Amino acid sequence: MPPTFPMSRQCPYHPPAGYDALREEGPLAQVELYDGRTAWAVTGYAETRALLTDPRLSSDRSRPDFPVLVPRMAAAKLVALVGMDPPEHGVQRRMLIPSFTVKRVNSLRPAIRRTVVDRIEALTASGRRQADLVPEFALPVPSTVICELLGVPYTDHEFFEEQTRRMLHATSTAEDAAAAAGALVRYFDELVGARIDEPGEGLLGELVAERLVTGELTRAELSSIAMFLLVAGHETTANMIALSILALLEHPKQLDRLRTADAKGASEAVEELLRFLSVADELQRVAAADIEIAGRVIREGDAVYLPNAAANRTPEVFPDPDTLDLGRSARGHLAFGYGIHQCIGQNLARAELEIALQELAVRLPGLRLAEPVERLGTKPGGSVQGILRLPVAW
């Protein structure tokens, strides 16, 4: 009988132990989903890259045979960008690319740094010596940044953060996830409506003026895009920041290395953390035609999962893969996916991680965990990977 999938991590910064058993079966192995459906889990690095560029694998979440990993996914499907196939996917992606180029993100770095420094100063205000870095640093930094980029009021952050949690946490019921998704849809529909009369600043206003008014996008499409960007723009990066801090505190020599790194060294450090942590695990697809790969045949209609945490620990590609080494060249990692669906916000995420982690390391040199790792709470498989709490002292 195939093992169940998704699998949960025993240690927050290492992949599930079950990935090793899957890898022993070869680069592709069969697993069983919660509803009894059999799926393929791809653990090989080369096979993952090949399949993520294979047009015979569909990302279209509106397909009736698209796989459901956990119950809440049946109710809360983010269809913009990641849930589309060409040509619709390419049309929307081209609209957004100018806002996420390296040049554009570099222009945002001073604002990102101000946000990070403000949060650190708030942590140390009035002589404080301890805090939970999840709600007080890891979450508000990317939330503030993506709100400013989109032109969404940060005053609404508690609302959309809570709805995102209800929608994306693996243990949420389908009903709860649907209610949260509905609340976010209504929120963005109202926001888009308000921008028609007064576009204001930010990407949302630009899209209203340049794409909605011209008829290139419908109001529903634009609301869906804005919802996707906001949810993806803060949830994944928040988990990466928190988990990176934890991993660095557990590897003090690597933390010291980051603290003294130059710009190139900080960039390399972030790439290794992205590889090592792989928080956006369990990429999912459905086969639109038969595919022969690695001596196996993926049949049309088969569910396919590509856990990049497994691919990113392939020893033939990343020697000694279970060791965190900020000096290694990890640029070939698949933490942002690969192919046409590679994360559009990766340049922004990299900038936020570089600035947040290095500023924290430099400004709080005595930073340390205030509780054992096993008490922090690890998010279950089927969620963006991360921890529930990060209590620290300095």
Is residue 180 within 8 Å of residue 186, measured between CB atoms?
A: no
pLDDT digits (tens, 9 = 90+) for 313-341: 999 999 999 999 999 999 999 999 999 99
pLDDT digits (tens, 9 = 90+) for 97-145: 999 999 999 999 999 999 999 999 999 998 889 999 999 999 999 999 9
Query: Looking at this protein, which amino acid is placed at residue 203?
Result: L
- Does a cis peptide bond (omega within 30 degrees of 0) precede residue 6? yes
Query: Which pLDDT score is estimated for 75?
Result: 65
Query: Which pLDDT score is estimated for 336?
Result: 97
Class level of CATH domain 18-393? mainly alpha
Cα 69 to the center of its chain, rounded Å: 16
Alpha-carbon distance of 369 to 391, in angstroms, equals 6
Whether residue 231 is predicted with pLDDT greater than 90 in this model: the reply is no
Query: Which pLDDT score is estimated for 79?
Result: 67
Query: Which pLDDT score is estimated for 221?
Result: 92
pLDDT digits (tens, 9 = 90+) for 56-104: 999 999 899 999 888 877 766 566 788 899 999 999 999 999 999 999 9
With bands split at pLDDT 50, 70 and 90, how would you rate the model's confidence at 371?
Answer: very high
User: Terminal CA-to-CA distance of the chain, rounded, Å?
Assistant: 49
Query: Which pLDDT score is estimated for 166?
Result: 84
Q: What is the pTM of this model?
A: 0.95
- Residue with the larger pLDDT of the pair 304 and 177: 304
Determine which helix (DSSP H) or strand (DSSP E) holds 113, and give its type and residue range.
helix 102-124
